[in-house]
Structure 1
Amino acid sequence: MMKILAQPLSKQEQLNFLLTNRIPRRWLTLFMGWYSQIQSPWLAKISIRVWQWFAEDLRLQDAKQQEFNSLGECFTRQLKDGLRPINQQSDIVVSPCDAIVGACGRVEGNRVFQAKGFPYELNDLIPDVRLAHKYRNGFFVTLRLKSSMYHRFHAPVDCQVKQVNYISGDTWNVNPVALKRVEKLFCKNERAVIELLLGDKSSSITLVPVAAILVASMKFHFLPKVLDLRYKGPNLLSCHARFNKGQEMGYFQHGSTIIVFATEHYQLCQGIAQGSPIKMGEALLQGHPTCHGDPSSFADDGA
């Protein structure tokens, strides 16, 4: 059973938690997935108007298209060219998405924090002992995508991807209120683990996209199927994808969280702190220039 820890919350936070978690989360998420794909321009326009009423920072003027046939098209909209310049310094790992920085800092041995005073173990989030061990005493950054934000995510470095580990789970809200209440929330929700293979084998970066209520759906351009609550295939999905820094990897169908893990060869860039906004392509972590490499130079076996 999910353990709820009673940290003090304001009345507004208590109401937020009840409205977004004490509901049939799976059923509502499946319904939203169906509803958002209905092809109806007028229904999409009405839905977007309602959405804008709740999310005043929704900036559709940045989108490539201004008219949408479904709510899902708006969720997964592309941006106009040039709006997200990519930091091309060879020693910089950029943010894979637009986000608000959540908990971040050094991994304390095997312990990571989802919120102040709320630790979880790397092995609980990443069910691969070999991979989890790489990030002992390394660094992590939690990136929260608000529902109004750009929902596509990109390669933070030049890299290669050879496998995705998709883990079925719950659909708790991942907002700050829930993170202060639900123990090991990230370890309970639907998520994917994606190790990015770099030019330097001694360094490693892993992305862990975490799904949430209304948005348990991830699309990776290098996999044939959408990974969502209906997915019944294998957990370990082999692939062979190469990315240049900033190249699009996929998208969420609403908003959620990506946790970035890096080995101890890296450190947080200046200005990366809890609560600060960041855009895709901006500096997130800094490491030695030799940690990265042109993905076209990787051997076919990932070496």
Structure 2
Amino acid sequence: MKPQTLRDRLLLQEDLNFLLTNRVPRIALTRFMGWYSRIRSPGLTRFSIAVWRLFTELDLSDAKQQRFASLHECFTRELRPGARPFDARADVIASPSDAIVGAHGTVAQGQVLQAKGFPYTLLDLLGSPGLAQAHEGCRYVTLRLTSSMYHRFHAPHDLRIDRVTYISGDTWNVNPIALQRVERLFCKNERAVVECRLQADGARLTLVPVAAILVASIRLHCLPQRLHLRYRGPNVIDCQAQAAKGDELGWFEHGSTIIVLAPPDARLAAGVDTGSRLKAGQALFERLPACHETVTRPS
């Protein structure tokens, strides 16, 4: 019997979306996409981009170059200088990437939300009891990058990067439909935990880029190696690096998610809420000056 109501049609569309993007050999498909995207053929690339545009809002008007030898070049494209100005105010933690804002809130009893009714623990996400405890009471926000977005991400503030922990995993889709159906999804997918300190006062800020189907490769400039499904270690990589606000930190091969864990004195910037679309550099959090405390930096 054909669906008779809008709700029935929407549920059917969600079921089909979930089946087509998750009930497939995800890792094999992701590895195939990695191989395909690196084929250097301008003709094949133009054709692939044309097909891509049929399904997404791909906008290359602010790209540094307009012709690409491979899909990989298009996925990881740079932008024209000045295309993403970063909010220079000292009390602002900027969005590290172009994104759609997802779940956000305060870390309470070690738990955060991936979607309404779907909690997960920071310990499962970060893999470190000490780091999870250090972020108790902190603010978090989930930033989702769609496939057509600019895929590079940047320092949201002046940072010192202390270490990166790579956690291999699955490649579930991270779209809203999957987030409402797959429990602890971010804790199952491949991800990198980037531990940082704000240079101003040593407050903790952790970024967690999460890979997804077709996207299982993360490049961080502070590391010599690329993090991907075939990477086998080391798992914890000490990394004494510094980055100024707006400096490029790395990129995804396609599009995915970045979870930002900010200091407890941070509040979402005015106008930012679930569903908001942000450009890299726009205000994401604002810190409350009256709450700032100087934190002794570890030696």
Fold equivalence (TM over 0.5): yes
- CA 1:78–1:211: 2 relative to 1, 3 Å: same
2:160·2:199 contact (CA, 8 Å) conserved in 1?
Answer: no
One-letter identity of the residue aligned with 2:198? L
Q: Which runs of 4+ in 1 moved over 3 A?
A: 199-202, 288-293
Which residue is 2:182 aligned to? 182
One-letter identity of the residue aligned with 1:38? I
Deviations 1:110-169 (A, max 9, x none): 110000010011111011111111221211000000000000000001011121000000
Which residue is 2:3 aligned to? none
Question: What pairs with 1:81-100 in structure 2 (closer than 5 Å)?
Answer: 81-100=81-100
1:199·1:292 contact (CA, 8 Å) conserved in 2?
Answer: no
1:16 has 2:25 as partner: no
2:160·2:241 contact (CA, 8 Å) conserved in 1?
Answer: yes
Structure 2: stretches of 5+ with no match in the other structure: 1-7
Give secondary structure in 2 for the equivalent of 1:48.
helix
Give secondary structure in 2 for the equivalent of 1:149.
coil
1:167·1:191 contact (CA, 8 Å) conserved in 2?
Answer: yes
Which residue is 1:250 aligned to? 250
2:154·2:247 contact (CA, 8 Å) conserved in 1?
Answer: yes
In the alignment, the residues of structure 2 paired with residue 198 and residue 170 of structure 1 have an alpha-carbon distance, to the nearest angstrom, of 31
Deviation at 1:203, TM superposition (A): 2.1
1:155·1:245 contact (CA, 8 Å) conserved in 2?
Answer: yes
Give secondary structure in 2 for the equivalent of 1:267.
strand
1:25 has 2:26 as partner: yes
Which residue is 1:42 aligned to? 43
Which residue is 2:162 aligned to? 162
Q: How many residues align?
A: 289
In the alignment, the residues of structure 1 paired with residue 170 and residue 100 of structure 2 have an alpha-carbon distance, to the nearest angstrom, of 22
Give secondary structure in 1 for the equivalent of 2:124.
helix
One-letter identity of the residue aligned with 1:283? A
Give secondary structure in 2 for the equivalent of 1:193.
strand
- CA 1:292–1:176: 2 relative to 1, 3 Å: farther
One-letter identity of the residue aligned with 1:120? Y
Question: What pairs with 1:223-302 in structure 2 (closer than 5 Å)?
Answer: 223-288=223-288
Aligned CA RMSD, in angstroms, stands at 1.9
One-letter identity of the residue aligned with 2:145? L
In the alignment, the residues of structure 2 paired with residue 234 and residue 26 of structure 1 have an alpha-carbon distance, to the nearest angstrom, of 21
* TM-score, with length taken from structure 1: 0.91
* TM-score, with length taken from structure 2: 0.92
Deviations 1:8-52 (A, max 9, x none): 971101100000000000000000001101111111111111111
In the alignment, the residues of structure 1 paired with residue 292 and residue 67 of structure 2 have an alpha-carbon distance, to the nearest angstrom, of 42
Deviation at 1:288, TM superposition (A): 4.5
Structure 1: stretches of 5+ with no match in the other structure: 1-7, 294-298
One-letter identity of the residue aligned with 2:14? E
- CA 1:44–1:292: 2 relative to 1, 3 Å: farther
Q: Which moved more, 1:144-153 or 1:119-128?
A: 119-128
One-letter identity of the residue aligned with 2:148? S
Deviations 1:50-100 (A, max 9, x none): 111111x21111101000000000000011111111100001000000000
Give secondary structure in 1 for the equivalent of 2:61.
helix
Which residue is 1:77 aligned to? 77
